[in-house]
A and B are shown apart, each in its own frame.
Chain A
Amino acid sequence: MLCQHCKQKEAIMQFFITENGKTREVHLCEACAKNTQEVSFVFHPAIVPEFLQALFGFNAPTKDQPAEMTCPKCGISFSQITQIGKLGCSTCYETFEKQLEPLLRRVHGGGQNVGKIPARRGVDLRNRLEQRKLKEKLQALIQQEAFEEAAVVRDQIREFEQSKGGEKSDS
Chain B
Amino acid sequence: MIRKELLLQHSAWMSETDSPVVISSRVRLARNLDDFPFPHGLNSEGAAQVEKTVAQVLTDNEGNNVDLIYIPLTELNTIEQQVLIEKHLISPSLGGATGARGVALAPDHRYAVMVNEEDHLRIQVLLPGNQLLESHRLATALDDRLEAKLDFAYRESQGYLTSCPTNVGTGLRASVMVHLPGLVITKQVQQVLGAVTRLGLAVRGLYGEGSQAFGHIYQISNQITLGKSEEDILSHLDAVTGQIVEHELQARDLLRQQTPMLLEDKVWRARGTLQNARLLSSEDAMHLLSHDRLGTDMGLLPKTKDCFATLIVDTRPGCLQYILDRELDPGLRDQERARLVRERIA
Contacts and interface: CB of A to CB of B under 8 A. Distances in A.
A11 to B, nearest CB: 9
A128 B96 CA distance: 44
A115 B155 CA distance: 11
A42 interface: yes
B147 A41 contact: no
Interface stretch (A60-68, A104-112, A133-141, A143-151): A104-112
A40 B205 contact: no
A110 B78 CA distance: 42
Interface stretch (B52-60, B165-173, B295-303): B165-173
B227 A86 contact: no
B173 A115 contact: no
A2 B96 contact: yes
Contacts of B206: 40-42
A157 B316 CA distance: 60
B130 interface: no
Interface string B182-209: 0000000000011001000011111111
Interface in A59-97: 73-74, 76, 84-90, 93-94
Contacts of B225: 108
Contacts of A37: 208, 214, 281-283
Contacts of A36: 209
Majority secondary structure of chain A interface residues (helix, strand, loop or mixed): loop
Contacts of A120: 147-148
Interface string B100-120: 000000000000000000100
B82 interface: yes
Contact of A114 (B86, B166, B227): B227
A29 to B, nearest CB: 12
Contacts of B193: 20
Contact of B330 (A38, A39, A122): A38
Given A89-B38, A113-B158, A20 B197 contact: yes
A41 B82 CA distance: 12
Interface string B233-274: 000000000000000000000000000000000000000000
Given A90-B161, A121-B151, A7 B168 contact: no
A90 B41 contact: no
A113 B152 CA distance: 16
Contacts of B96: 1-2, 4, 7, 27
A42 B13 CA distance: 14
A76 B38 CA distance: 12
Contacts of A35: 330
A113 B78 contact: no
A158 B283 CA distance: 67
A6 B230 contact: no
B137 interface: no
B164 A85 contact: yes
A91 to B, nearest CB: 9
Contacts of A39: 209
B224 interface: yes
Contacts of B3: none
The 5 closest A-B pairs by CB, nearest first: A111-B227, A90-B153, A113-B159, A115-B170, A37-B283
Interface of A: 1-2, 4, 6-8, 17-22, 24, 27, 35-47, 52, 73-74, 76, 84-90, 93-94, 100, 103-104, 107-122, 125
Interface of B: 26, 28, 32, 34, 36-38, 40-41, 78, 81-82, 85-86, 88, 91-93, 95-96, 118, 140, 143-144, 147-148, 151-161, 163-166, 168-173, 193-194, 197, 202-211, 214, 219, 223-230, 281-283, 316-317, 330
6 contacts: A1-B96, A19-B203, A37-B282, A38-B281, A86-B38, A110-B227
